[in-house]
C-alpha cells in the first residue's frame, strides 16, 4: 500500500506542510529508473527520490542529498525556480500533484509497475520521465481525479462486490474483507465502514505477508515496524524493499551460478562414468596382449585382424592388427595401450570422486542459499563458500613487459607485436625515449623518463644493446639502433600490430647485449 490512494491521503498533507513556499531548485536523474527533485529556500532543503523501477517503485524523502559528479542529467528544466503553492492527492487515484507557480505542475503517478513523473503547463503535458510508457503521452492533468459513488445503495447494486465500490483499497483491505464478510449486505457494509475507519487512523505498519514485505494501513501478517509519521513509514519501506530487492537479485545470481556448476558436474559425471564403463566392460588391452602372446603360432603374417579365443570371457574375439608388425610387436602395442588405459582409469576415477564431492557441496549450498534472509548474511555466506568471483588484478608493468634497470632508469621491452603497440601507445609517455633496431623487425624498447633529468648516453647505449638483441640482427657484431622521444612515434590507422612511423630519430651503433649478461 506504499503507492496506494489511502496512504497518499496521509502522506500528501505532510508533504504539503513541508514543501509549500519552497522553490524547485533541481530535477535530475543519475540512475536509469530514478528521478530526484530538490526543493529549497535559504533555510532548508527537501528532496524527493522517486523510483519507477517495476520491481521497486516508491518514494524516499530526505533533507540532504549528494548528487553524483558524473552520469547525472538535468530534467524538467521548464519547472526549475518555480515555487510550490500546494501539494494535493488526486481523488481516488494513486497519484498526487505538486502545484507550482505560473500554472506549472509536477505529477507523481505511482501506478504499480507503470510509475512515472509528468510535468504540466496548465492542462497540457510538457515532459515524461519514464518515456517507455507511451500511453502516458495522452494524459492530461484533468484526467487524474476519479469520481466514486461509495454509498450503501451502490454497494447493494454491486451485490456486495467491494472492489467495485472501493477499487482504491488494494489487496490487503480486500483480503481482510473477504475473510470477515458474512454475506449479509448490511452487516458487510458495516464491515466496510470499519475497514475505512482503520485506513483513516494514520497508523502505518511495515509487515510481511507470504514472505513479501509490504507497507500496510491495517495490522496484518508479521508486523516488523509501526509508524505514526507517513514520511518515516515511506522511507523505511523504500530502504527495506531496496535491500530485499538487492537480496533477491544477488540470490538469483548465486542460484544461477550454482545451478550452472551443478549441471556441469552432472554432465561430466555422466560422460566420465560412461567412458569408465566402456573401458572396464570391454576386453582390456592388457588381456588382448596376453591373448596374442598365447597364440603367436596361430597368427598369420601380414594379417589385419585375427579371431581368437578370449580366455577371460570364454568366447571368440576379433582383434585388430597392424599388418606391418609381427604378432609379438602387435602384442607389445596392446601392452603400451594398456598402460595408457590404466592412466586414463586412474584419472577418471580421481576426477569422478572430485566432481561427486563438488556436486554434494553445490547442492548443499543451493539448499542453504534460501535460508539466508539478510543481504549481509548472504554476502558472508557467498564469501565463505567461495561463490563470489574474485576481481582480477590488473597486471603491473613488470608483468606486461620485459623490464630492466640501469642506475634507476627503467627500461621496458615489448614481448610481441601486440605487446609492442601496448607499450608504445598506452604505457609510454611523450618524453620517454623510444628505441628500435633500425630497418629490421624487433621489439619496441622504452626508457622511462625521470623528470628534470636528461637520460645519460650510457643508459641509451645499454637500452640500444637490448633493442639490438631483441631483433632479427641479434647475431650481428654491431647493430644500428634508432632512438627518439616517444612523441615522434605514431601509429597509422590500418597498419599491422607493432608497425609505427618515426618522424624524427637519432642512431647509435651498438653491440647486442644478451639479457642474461645484463
Which residues form the domain of 278? Answer: 260-384
| 331-345 pLDDT, tens digit each | 988 888 888 888 888
β partners of residue 340: none
**Helix-strand-coil split of the chain, %, nearest 5:** 40, 25, 35
Cβ-based burial of 276 (10 A; exposed 0-12, middle 13-18, buried ≥19)? middle
Q: Are residues 196 and 323 in the same domain?
A: no
Of 143, 163, 187, the domain-final residue: 143
Q: Do 493 and 499 contact (CB within 8 A), yes or no? A: no
CA-CA-CA-CA torsion sign (383, 385, 389, 390): positive
CA distances 435 to 409, 478, 504, 507, Å, are 14, 16, 12, 9
pLDDT at residue 158 is higher than 90:
no
Q: Are residues 295 and 412 in the same domain?
A: no
What's the DSSP call for residue 183? S
Domain assignment present for 243: no
Mean pLDDT of 367-387: 80
Q: Return the number of other C-beta atoms located less than 10 Å from residue 198's C-beta.
A: 14
Of 204, 227, 250, the domain-final residue: 227
Q: What are the DSSP E strand ranges found in 147-291?
A: 204-209, 212-216, 222-227
Closest listed residue to residue 423, CA positions, set 394, 405, 399: 399
| 56-103 pLDDT, tens digit each | 788 999 999 888 888 889 999 999 999 999 999 999 899 999 999 999
Domain assignment present for 21: yes
Q: Return the number of other C-beta atoms located less than 10 Å from residue 100's C-beta.
A: 23
Contacts by residues 505-510 (CB-CB < 8 Å, ≥ 24 positions apart): 506/482, 507/438, 507/480, 507/481, 507/482, 507/483, 508/460, 508/461, 508/464, 508/480, 508/481, 508/483, 509/478, 509/479, 509/480, 509/481, 510/461, 510/464, 510/465, 510/468, 510/478, 510/479, 510/481
Mean residue pLDDT across the chain: 89
Q: Are residues 304 and 333 in the same domain?
A: yes
Among the ranges given (17-21, 386-390, 506-510), the one the predictor scored with the smallest mean pLDDT: 386-390
Q: Are residues 134 and 42 in the same domain?
A: yes
Q: Are residues 157 and 137 in the same domain?
A: no
Nearest-Å Rg of the Cα atoms of the chain is 39
pLDDT at residue 108 is higher than 90:
yes
Q: Are residues 372 and 276 in the same domain?
A: yes
Please name the residues in contact with 266: beta carbons below 8 A apart, sequence gap of 6 or more: 359
Of 360, 384, 408, the domain-final residue: 384
Q: What's the rounded Cα separation, in Å, for the pair 82 and 40?
A: 11
Q: Are residues 105 and 65 in the same domain?
A: yes
Number of independent structural domains in the chain: 4
Expressed in angstroms, the distance from the first to the final Cα of the chain is: 76
Q: Are residues 402 and 480 in the same domain?
A: yes
pLDDT at residue 39 is higher than 80:
yes
Domain assignment present for 202: yes
Q: Are residues 366 and 422 in the same domain?
A: no
Alpha carbon of residue 138 to chain centroid: 36
Domain assignment present for 170: yes
Q: Do 220 and 172 contact (CB within 8 A), yes or no? A: yes
379: domain CATH number? Answer: 1.10.287
Q: Are residues 17 and 120 in the same domain?
A: yes
Mean pLDDT of 473-501: 94
Cβ-based burial of 163 (10 A; exposed 0-12, middle 13-18, buried ≥19)? exposed
Which H or E run includes 316? strand 315-320
Collapse the DSSP code of 433 into the 3-class scheme (helix H, G, I; strand E, B; otherwise coil) and give the result: strand
Among the ranges given (110-119, 146-155, 383-392), the one the predictor scored with the smallest mean pLDDT: 383-392
pLDDT of the residue at 420? 96
Q: Are residues 421 and 499 in the same domain?
A: yes
Domain assignment present for 349: yes
Domain assignment present for 236: no
Please name the residues in contact with 283: beta carbons below 8 A apart, sequence gap of 6 or more: 310, 312, 313, 317
Q: What's the rounded Cα separation, in Å, for the pair 4 and 112?
A: 9
Q: What's the rounded Cα separation, in Å, for the pair 96 and 110?
A: 9
Closest listed residue to residue 499, CA positions, set 416, 412, 400: 416
Confidence of residue 315 (pLDDT cuts 50, 70, 90): confident
Q: Do 103 and 154 contact (CB within 8 A), yes or no? A: no
Q: Are residues 265 and 167 in the same domain?
A: no
Domain assignment present for 57: yes
What is the value of pTM for the model shown?
Answer: 0.56
pLDDT at residue 229 is higher than 80:
yes
Q: Do 122 and 141 contact (CB within 8 A), yes or no? A: yes
Domain assignment present for 486: yes
Amino acid at each position: 500500500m506504499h503507492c496506494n490512494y489511502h496512504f497518499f491521503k496521509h502522506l500528501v498533507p505532510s508533504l504539503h506542510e513541508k514543501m509549500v513556499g519552497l522553490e524547485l531548485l533541481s530535477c535530475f536523474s543519475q540512475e536509469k529508473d530514478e528521478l530526484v527533485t530538490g526543493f529549497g529556500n535559504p533555510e532548508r532543503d527537501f528532496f524527493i527520490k522517486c523510483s519507477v523501477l517495476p520491481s521497486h517503485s516508491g518514494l524516499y524523502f530526505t533533507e540532504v542529498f549528494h548528487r553524483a559528479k558524473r552520469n547525472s542529467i538535468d530534467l524538467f528544466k521548464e519547472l526549475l525556480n518555480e515555487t510550490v503553492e500546494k501539494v494535493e492527492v488526486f481523488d481516488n487515484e494513486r497519484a498526487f500533484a505538486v502545484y507550482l507557480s505560473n500554472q506549472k505542475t509536477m505529477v507523481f503517478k505511482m501506478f504499480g509497475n507503470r510509475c512515472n513523473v509528468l510535468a504540466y503547463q496548465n492542462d497540457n503535458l510538457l515532459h515524461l520521465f519514464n518515456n517507455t510508457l507511451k500511453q502516458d503521452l495522452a494524459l492530461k492533468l484533468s484526467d487524474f481525479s476519479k469520481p466514486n459513488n461509495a454509498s450503501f445503495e451502490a454497494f447493494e447494486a454491486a451485490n456486495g462486490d467491494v472492489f467495485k465500490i472501493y477499487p482504491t483499497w488494494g489487496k490487503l483491505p480486500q483480503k481482510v474483507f473477504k475473510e470477515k464478510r458474512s454475506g449479509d449486505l448490511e452487516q458487510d457494509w458495516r464491515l466496510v465502514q470499519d475497514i475505512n475507519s482503520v485506513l483513516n487512523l494514520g497508523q502505518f505498519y511495515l509487515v510481511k505477508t507470504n514472505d513479501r514485505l509490504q507497507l500496510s494501513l491495517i495490522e496484518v501478517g508479521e508486523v516488523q515496524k509501526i509508524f505514526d509519521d507517513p514520511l518515516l513509514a515511506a522511507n523505511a519501506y523504500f530502504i527495506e524493499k531496496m535491500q530485499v530487492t538487492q537480496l533477491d537479485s544477488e540470490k538469483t545470481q548465486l542460484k544461477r551460478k550454482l545451478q550452472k556448476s551443478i549441471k556441469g558436474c552432472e554432465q561430466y559425471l555422466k560422460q566420465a562414468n560412461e567412458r569408465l564403463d566402456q573401458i572396464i566392460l570391454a576386453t582390456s588391452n592388457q588381456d588382448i596382449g596376453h591373448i596374442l602372446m598365447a597364440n603367436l603360432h596361430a597368427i598369420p603374417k601380414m594379417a589385419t585382424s585375427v579371431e581368437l579365443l578370449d580366455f577371460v570371457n570364454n568366447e571368440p574375439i576379433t582383434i585388430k592388427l597392424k599388418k606391418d608388425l609381427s604378432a609379438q610387436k602387435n602384442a607389445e602395442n596392446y601392452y603400451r595401450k594398456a598402460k595408457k588405459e590404466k592412466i586414463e582409469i586412474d584419472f577418471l576415477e580421481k576426477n569422478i570422486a572430485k566432481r561427486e564431492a563438488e556436486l554434494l557441496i553445490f547442492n548443499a549450498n543451493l539448499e542453504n542459499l534460501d535460508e539466508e534472509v539478510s543481504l549481509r548474511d548472504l554476502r558472508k555466506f557467498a564469501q565463505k563458500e567461495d561463490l563470489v568471483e574474485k576481481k582480477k588484478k590488473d597486471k603491473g608493468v613488470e608483468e606486461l613487459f620485459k623490464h630492466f634497470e640501469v642506475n634507476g632508469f627503467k627500461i621496458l621491452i615489448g614481448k610481441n607485436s601486440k605487446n609492442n603497440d601496448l607499450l608504445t601507445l598506452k604505457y609510454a609517455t611523450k618524453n620517454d625515449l623510444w628505441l628500435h633496431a633500425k630497418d629490421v623487425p624487433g621489439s619496441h624498447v622504452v626508457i622511462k623518463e625521470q623528470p628534470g633529468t636528461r637520460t645519460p648516453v650510457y643508459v641509451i647505449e645499454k637500452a640500444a644493446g637490448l633493442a639490438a638483441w631483441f631483433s632479427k640482427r641479434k647475431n650481428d657484431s654491431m647493430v644500428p639502433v634508432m632512438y627518439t622521444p616517444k612523441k615522434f612515434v605514431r601509429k597509422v590507422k590500418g597498419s599491422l600490430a607493432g608497425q609505427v612511423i618515426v618522424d624524427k630519430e637519432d642512431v647509435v651503433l651498438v653491440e647486442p647485449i644478451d639479457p642474461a649478461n645484463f
